[in-house]
Structure 1
């Protein structure tokens, strides 16, 4: 029964991915006055799905190597290390989130450490 739940979840995720990629492809092809076949969308969806699965496996491996059962931000940043643009974007996002947390936690206590 647990296997059926996993398969159902996987199929639901793949359907959502297909839908999203289809919409993005439609928007792009309309803007460029071109066309994409359903086979192209299906192939692109499978390519993205395989990347997601490989990334998920890597993230799980990083967490296990660190002795954790849960994936955290450090694992994601480690995964992004080979894509400089993505890594810079993610690090900026993480710094912004940490800045927001520090800002909320220091209300009434003056300026947060390192604040502007």
Structure 2
């Protein structure tokens, strides 16, 4: 087994574990049960979706002449799902706002340090 194949197996096992935990929590909340086959099927479905999204993201970035996936590529993925697009836009906006606050705080510290040296 190659390193890539081993990595994929570990990632898939991690996904299976995470989905299993979510299913366990939900079945406990709903007072029901789920079979291991159900968890396996959910894992396969989620894995297929992840692979499709990854391929689309690579295609979008390549089409734009880039080798790196950007938030613009991710937003293109959400183009057919308005609710998901809104959630993603809110997330991106919050992240940008936090970066601006951090940038402003760093600039203030730098100005203060420069003023302190000049005295």
Pick from 45, 48, 51 the counterpart of residue 47 of structure 1.
Answer: 45
Distance (whole Å) between structure 2 residues aligned to residue 84 and residue 35 of structure 1: 32
Larger fraction in helix: 2
Pairing 1:33-72 to 2, within 5 Å after superposition: 33-72=31-70
2:6 corresponding residue in structure 1:
8
Mark the structure with the bigger radius of gyration.
Answer: 2
**TM-score, length of structure 1 as denominator length:** 0.88
Distance (whole Å) between structure 2 residues aligned to residue 54 and residue 7 of structure 1: 18
Deviation, 1:83, is: 1.0
Say how many residue pairs are matched: 107
Output the aligned Cα RMSD: 1.4
Q: Which 4+ stretches in 1 moved above 4 angstroms?
A: none
Gaps of 5+ in 1: 109-116
**TM-score, length of structure 2 as denominator length:** 0.86
Gaps of 5+ in 2: 109-119
Distance (whole Å) between structure 1 residues aligned to residue 48 and residue 85 of structure 2: 21
